[in-house]
């Protein structure tokens, strides 16, 4: 009896039509992502020189067709990686904006998934037999080199669908037209400060089925995109519950997504936002992998067709209700009068030379009532006075000398900032310090004002309990 049951189970699991019922694709992709994760790419600021060898290596696998589409303004080759033998064509493109790299990382993981053979072969076979997949990773390699949004012409490729002035835009348009792609995935990154509606949760993933006219009409082409998004939203709620948003669908006549929809390609825009304690977006990369594999499977099996379009409009809209840090209910004195304020702080990434690394400079973005806003990190400072940080009077030689100071003692005395003579030597230490660093002689008025660096301490009865140093909260 047991042998018969085992044999029945083996036959049942070997059926590719029933495979997804036994192992739901989103859960399978999430569970096994580490197997396929491209280990050579672990940070967002990778370059064309890091990506190109990985793409060219795919030529050694007969599954893949690697086709040069042309060269960027600065002469970097842009590739189309295609695979699958099906009749339905799917076109994916990432890094249209050079500093939006999450989906490119997930794309590399997707290539690794299809290049391997294991117990998930029935899933691969379902997709490859039904779909003809074309993926253009890093459409804007020149922007990636500088880690910037625009290309080398300073043109936003996503606003070049009409004039087609950039060679990168021309390549994407030619490829779509040659394929007459049935589905398109327009893959981006968005600000980490977007929330899913007005909730405190970041919009880790946001979707859009772009409109193809000002009236925002829904035809058969756009309807398929709406249905697919409903399925994808449902698929990832188990992993990022309440952290999915929806972009405003006002028609943008210059944008590629809107025009792809207009040209007959059912287009889904996916934006990767923020996730707590994931500065290099490696967890969001995993969610992207889940989305891509789930989306391809849904198109191959046409399971998206069962989704209710009305559910798309139930996804909360993207809003901007997040800060990196909010200090709430602190007392600020002005002209001898105490005022209760909240302080909203964001940390801006500043590229180091070569654009492969960065450090943070903070900015006070808001002072006042933030009771309806949220922070990735928050502190209720009720009963504490906020006092501007002071500049330590002894100038230090370099960052190494600052690292050797007893930082907590200085913070307890109200010093948050140190001057150095040499801002270049050992500058990489900046991110490890508990003190902010400025160059010798730099003007820095110790005030809590909009636009200034966030350097202050929280006091109660002359005792310093917390410090905020370049936007980072330090408990003493």
In the predicted structure, residue 184 carries a pLDDT above the cut 90: yes
Task: Give the chain's domain count.
Answer: 2
Which CATH number is 30's domain given? 3.40.630.10
Tens digit of pLDDT for each residue in 415-469?
999 999 988 888 888 889 999 999 988 877 678 899 999 999 999 988 999 999 9
Alpha carbon distance 274, 277 (integer Å): 9
Helix H segments across 237-376?
A: 256-263, 282-301
Q: Smallest Cα–Cα separation from 316: which of 192, 197, 193, 190?
A: 197
Q: Which of 277, 298, 319 delimits the end of a domain?
A: 319
Q: Is residue 393 domain-shared with residue 307, that is, in the same domain?
A: no
Instruction: Place 70 in a pLDDT band, splitting at 50, 70 and 90.
Output: very high
- 282 and 162 Cβ atoms separated by less than 8 Å: no
In the predicted structure, residue 194 carries a pLDDT above the cut 70: yes
Alpha carbon distance 77, 48 (integer Å): 9
Q: Is residue 55 domain-shared with residue 14, that is, in the same domain?
A: yes
Q: Which of 284, 319, 354 delimits the end of a domain?
A: 319
Q: Is residue 300 domain-shared with residue 417, that is, in the same domain?
A: no
Q: Is residue 409 domain-shared with residue 280, that is, in the same domain?
A: no
Q: Is residue 158 domain-shared with residue 200, that is, in the same domain?
A: yes
Domain that holds residue 297: 2-319
Q: Which pLDDT score is estimated for 13?
A: 42
Q: Is residue 268 domain-shared with residue 392, that is, in the same domain?
A: no
Q: Smallest Cα–Cα separation from 79: which of 146, 135, 154?
A: 135
Q: Is residue 403 domain-shared with residue 377, that is, in the same domain?
A: yes
Between 12 and 410, the higher pLDDT residue: 410
Residue 205 pairs with which residues in a beta bridge? Answer: 244, 272
- 202 and 273 Cβ atoms separated by less than 8 Å: yes
Q: Is residue 290 domain-shared with residue 236, that is, in the same domain?
A: yes
| Mean residue pLDDT across the chain | 93
Tens digit of pLDDT for each residue in 288-335?
999 999 999 999 999 999 999 999 999 999 999 999 999 999 999 988
Tens digit of pLDDT for each residue in 214-233?
999 999 999 999 999 999 99
Tens digit of pLDDT for each residue in 15-67?
444 444 446 999 999 999 999 999 999 999 999 999 999 999 999 999 999 99
Instruction: Place 372 in a pLDDT band, splitting at 50, 70 and 90.
Output: very high
Tens digit of pLDDT for each residue in 165-178?
999 999 999 999 99
In the predicted structure, residue 370 carries a pLDDT above the cut 80: yes
Q: Is residue 111 domain-shared with residue 244, that is, in the same domain?
A: yes
Which CATH number is 359's domain given? 2.30.40.10
Q: Is residue 300 domain-shared with residue 339, that is, in the same domain?
A: no
Q: Is residue 38 domain-shared with residue 187, that is, in the same domain?
A: yes
Q: Is residue 282 domain-shared with residue 356, that is, in the same domain?
A: no
Q: Which of 302, 319, 336 delimits the end of a domain?
A: 319
Q: Mean pLDDT throughout 347-366?
A: 93
């Amino acid at each position: 009896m047991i042998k018969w049951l085992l044999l029945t189970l083996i036959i049942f699991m070997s059926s590719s039509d029933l495979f997804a019922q036994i192992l739901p694709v989103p859960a399978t992709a999430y569970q096994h992502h580490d197997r396929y994760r491209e280990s050579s790419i672990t940070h967002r600021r990778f370059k064309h020189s890091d990506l190109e060898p990985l793409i060219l290596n795919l030529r050694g696998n007969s599954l893949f067709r690697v086709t040069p589409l042309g060269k960027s303004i600065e002469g970097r080759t842009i590739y189309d990686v295609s695979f699958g033998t099906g009749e339905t064509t799917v076109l994916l493109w990432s890094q249209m904006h050079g500093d939006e790299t999450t989906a490119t990382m997930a794309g590399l993981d997707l290539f690794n998934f299809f290049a391997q053979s294991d117990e998930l072969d029935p899933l691969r076979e379902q997709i490859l037999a039904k779909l003809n997949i074309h993926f253009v990773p890093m459409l804007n390699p020149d922007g990636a080199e500088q880690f910037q949004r625009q290309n080398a012409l300073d043109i936003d490729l996503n606003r070049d669908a009409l004039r087609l002035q950039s060679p990168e835009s021309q390549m994407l348009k030619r490829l779509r037209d040659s394929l007459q792609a049935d589905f398109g995935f327009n893959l981006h990154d968005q600000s980490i400060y977007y929330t899913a509606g007005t909730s405190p949760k970041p919009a880790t993933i946001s979707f859009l089925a772009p409109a193809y006219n000002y009236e925002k009409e829904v035809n058969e082409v756009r309807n398929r995109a709406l249905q697919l998004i409903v399925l994808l939203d449902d698929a990832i709620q188990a992993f990022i519950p309440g952290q999915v948003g929806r972009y405003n669908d006002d028609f943008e006549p210059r944008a590629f997504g809107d025009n792809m929809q207009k040209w007959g390609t059912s287009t889904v825009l996916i934006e990767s936002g923020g996730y707590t304690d994931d500065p290099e977006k490696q967890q969001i990369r995993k969610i992207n992998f889940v989305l891509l594999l789930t989306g391809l499977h849904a198109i191959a099996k046409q399971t998206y067709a069962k989704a209710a379009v009305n559910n798309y409009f139930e996804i909360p809209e993207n809003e901007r209700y997040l800060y990196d840090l909010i200090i709430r209910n602190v007392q600020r004195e002005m002209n001898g009068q105490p005022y209760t304020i909240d302080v909203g702080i964001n940390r801006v990434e500043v590229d180091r030379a070569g654009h492969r690394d960065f450090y943070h400079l903070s900015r006070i973005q808001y002072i006042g009532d933030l009771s309806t806003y949220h922070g990735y990190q928050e502190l209720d400072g009720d009963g504490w006075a906020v006092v501007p940080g002071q500049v330590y009077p002894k100038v230090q030689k370099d960052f190494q000398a600052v690292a050797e100071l007893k930082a907590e003692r200085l913070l307890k005395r109200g010093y948050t900032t140190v001057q150095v003579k040499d801002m270049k030597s050992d500058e990489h230490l900046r991110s490890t310090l508990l003190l902010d660093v400025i160059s010798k002689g730099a003007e820095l008025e110790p005030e809590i004002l909009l636009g200034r660096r966030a350097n202050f301490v929280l006091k109660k009865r002359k005792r310093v309990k917390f410090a905020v140093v370049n936007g980072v909260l330090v408990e003493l």
